[in-house]
């Protein structure tokens, strides 16, 4: 079966993935004389930096997602297909998807990355990742459901297992989740669950490296650690988690933390599609590309975003897997496609680092700019502004802004709802 896309004299560019990289490229190419087919397993774009706020009941899921079709409503040369790409046939310029096959002139892989459990299937089956809106909602439900159970649990040890939480990974996601949990413990849960002694709740942050926020400056790393400790988070550096059975976490040194919830933010690994040569796949399953983001050994297949890997003098282990790299790669590739139409030569991708940031809590954040770093309330305000304006859609910006203002004034969002999907029972006649 072939995916139904109108035939045209325009060159067809198929983009797999509607994240920061794929969406940026599609929006730029939509203005040019190409036929664009954007394929994603969801029909919406997800704003990953704010997943943790959905998980901590600070934002509605709809505030950080945006329908792909709405973005391209006025673009008649853009076609959206909700499907999963399973295989590439580069010799035939064809891809296989869950919705059928599709031919391409140029193929762009922006398939992103998923949670890396480092081969530990037991941890993978029990820990809670946070790489999608649905996973963030699952975490929100797990936290709230266990607090409901704790209300009727008289045994101290069992109650601790329900309310204690372990966060694995000291990068931006882990730090932000731990900070949000600490603020929830102090300001929200005592009001919702006055019968519980919320001081009993322990939040553990486990980091394998010798510092938090490994990719940021030492100043920011130390500040983030101090902020979290001020909020009551128990931090363990140079500690590796080796096992989790659903009720207790085991570390490499043999120590154990009883808990029913482990939030895994310890790393990412590239998503895969069958059909690329093994020589094009490198560390963490990323795809080797050249300076134009062309996949190794291919002439018309490109990779951008978290999945792309190229070593440079400045980035000997590849570019950081952050939104700005993805956006800039999408922009650069779009300019090169435009240059092709104008008969101009292509421009090599060069990442312009505009800085890094992480928020820990109210008035607590760290920001690294290319020439200096700062922390505290001004850094927190900068983080808010940058993320607010990075959201897609005016409605989303307004709703997130109002949520943040209300939360700032009251410390009490009304979003702590246990919403579970209902399984449909189909009875045979």
Residues with catalytic function: 176
CA dist list (Å): 217 to 103, 175, 366: 46, 15, 10
Residue of 324, 331, 327 whose CA lies nearest to 368: 324
Alpha helices per DSSP H over 119-192: 121-126, 133-151, 156-163, 172-183, 189-192
Residue of 59, 36, 39 whose CA lies nearest to 49: 59
Contacts of 421 (CB under 8 A, 6+ apart): none
What distance in Å separates the CA atoms of residue 88 and residue 91, rounded to the nearest whole number?
A: 9
**CB distance 162 to 142 below 8 Å:** no
Question: What is the DSSP pairing of strand 301-303 with strand 106-109?
Answer: parallel
Identify how many contiguous H helices and E strands the chain contains and give both numbers. 12, 24
Take residue 424 and report the two structure tokens written for it.
């449909």
Residue of 202, 205, 206 whose CA lies nearest to 164: 202
**CB distance 225 to 170 below 8 Å:** no
**E-only strand ranges, 259-303:** 261-264, 268-270, 287-288, 301-303
Provide the 8-state DSSP code for 275.
T
């Amino acid at each position: 079966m072939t995916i139904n896309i109108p035939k045209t004299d325009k060159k067809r560019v198929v983009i797999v993935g509607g994240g920061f990289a794929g969406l940026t490229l599609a929006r730029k190419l939509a203005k040019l004389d190409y036929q664009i087919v954007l394929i994603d397993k969801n029909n919406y774009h997800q704003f990953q930096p704010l997943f943790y706020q959905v998980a901590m009941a600070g934002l509605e899921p709809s505030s950080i997602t945006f329908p792909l079709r709405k973005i391209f409503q006025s673009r008649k040369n853009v076609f959206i297909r909700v499907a999963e790409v399973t295989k590439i046939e580069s010799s035939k310029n064809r891809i296989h998807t869950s919705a059928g096959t599709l031919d391409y002139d140029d193929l762009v892989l922006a398939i992103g990355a998923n949670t890396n459990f480092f081969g530990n299937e037991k941890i993978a089956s029990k820990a809670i990742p946070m790489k999608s809106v649905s996973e963030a909602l699952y975490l929100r439900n797990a936290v709230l459901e266990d607090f409901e159970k704790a209300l009727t649990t008289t045994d101290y040890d069992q109650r601790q297992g329900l309310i204690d939480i372990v966060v694995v990974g000291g990068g931006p996601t882990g730090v932000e989740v731990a900070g949000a949990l600490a603020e929830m413990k102090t300001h929200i849960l005592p009001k919702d669950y006055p019968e519980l002694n919320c001081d009993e709740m322990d939040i553990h942050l486990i980091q394998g490296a010798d510092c938090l926020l490994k990719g940021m400056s030492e100043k920011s790393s130390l500040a983030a650690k101090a902020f979290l400790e001020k909020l009551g988070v128990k931090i363990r550096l140079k500690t590796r988690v080796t096992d989790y059975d659903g009720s207790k976490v085991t570390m490499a040194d043999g120590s154990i933390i009883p808990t029913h919830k482990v939030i895994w933010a310890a790393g990412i690994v590239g998503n895969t599609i069958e059909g690329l040569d093994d020589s094009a796949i490198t560390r963490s399953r990323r795809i080797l590309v050249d300076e134009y983001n062309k996949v190794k050994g291919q002439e018309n297949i490109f990779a951008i975003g978290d999945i792309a890997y190229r070593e440079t003098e400045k980035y000997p282990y590849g570019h950081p897997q952050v939104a700005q790299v993805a956006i800039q790669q999408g922009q650069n590739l779009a300019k090169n496609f435009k240059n092709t139409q104008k008969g101009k030569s292509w421009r090599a991708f060069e990442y312009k680092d505009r800085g890094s940031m992480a928020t820990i809590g109210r008035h607590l954040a760290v920001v690294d700019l290319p020439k200096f770093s700062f922390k505290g309330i001004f850094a927190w305000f900068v983080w808010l502004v940058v993320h607010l304006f990075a959201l897609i859609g005016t409605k989303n910006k307004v709703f997130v802004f109002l949520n943040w203002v209300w939360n700032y004034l009251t410390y009490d969002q009304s979003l702590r709802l246990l919403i579970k999907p209902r399984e449909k029972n189909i009875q045979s006649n």
